[in-house]
Amino acid sequence: MSIISYALPQVSSILIYDRVAIFKGEIWRLFTSHLVHFTTLHLFYNLIAFGVAGWIIEYRGYQHFALLCLLMAFFIGVFLMVMKPDMIYYGGLSGLASGSIYYLALFGLRESQPWRLMCIVTLFFVPIKILLEIDMSQSILAHSGHFTLMPLSHIIGCLVALFLFFAIKFNENRKRIFFNHEPPIH
């Protein structure tokens, strides 16, 4: 859908986060804006990061990736509405990519080495990357082109991933205690 949106500007104009349109009732834009990209490099880097993270999540059988994507899309849009009232337009998968990478790394903590070590390093460096981008006002991995980087979307994506991961873990412990009378896993 991101490629179609990029290739067809009339589709992008219907999907993009447009603050005025959202306040007029076009709520779907909170979800669909992540499919819109402003440059070829913006599209390329976001699709690679999101695609690879999503593929590994699915390949390893980590749970609830579709739910994660829906939650990230919604909460990123809502938080941008609240915390960036001067921002009129927004697009891109980078918030969902950041959250997906973080979610992948959280689940990887349950795995054996060397995958577990890679996930620990990822959990350490993703926040550092975001903080550097906030400080520098530009992406450290990709040139942002003719638009403004929005690290808030990366933060919200990672926070949603963290909350969903802990909700899953809590639910697993609750089921284990209730059905098997086993002590919780810490």
At residue 179 the predicted structure's pLDDT band, cuts being 50, 70 and 90, is low
Quick one: 178 exposed, middle or buried, by C-beta within 10 A (0-12, 13-18, 19+)?
A: exposed
Over residues 95-136, the pLDDT tens digits come to 999 999 999 999 999 999 999 999 999 999 999 999 998 998
Q: In the prediction, which pLDDT does 171 show?
A: 87
Tell the residue number behind the tokens 């609750």, with chain if given.
Answer: 174
Over residues 6-36, the pLDDT tens digits come to 999 999 999 999 999 999 999 999 999 999 9
At residue 174 the predicted structure's pLDDT band, cuts being 50, 70 and 90, is confident
pLDDT at 144 exceeding the cut of 60: no
* Across 155-171, average pLDDT: 96
Over residues 34-66, the pLDDT tens digits come to 999 998 988 999 999 999 999 999 999 999 999
**CA torsion through residues 140, 2, 13, 19, sign:** negative
Q: Confirm if 16 and 29 have CB atoms less than 8 A apart.
A: yes
Separation of alpha carbons 108 and 103, rounded Å: 9
67 closest CA partner among 144, 136, 165, 179: 165
pLDDT at 175 exceeding the cut of 80: no
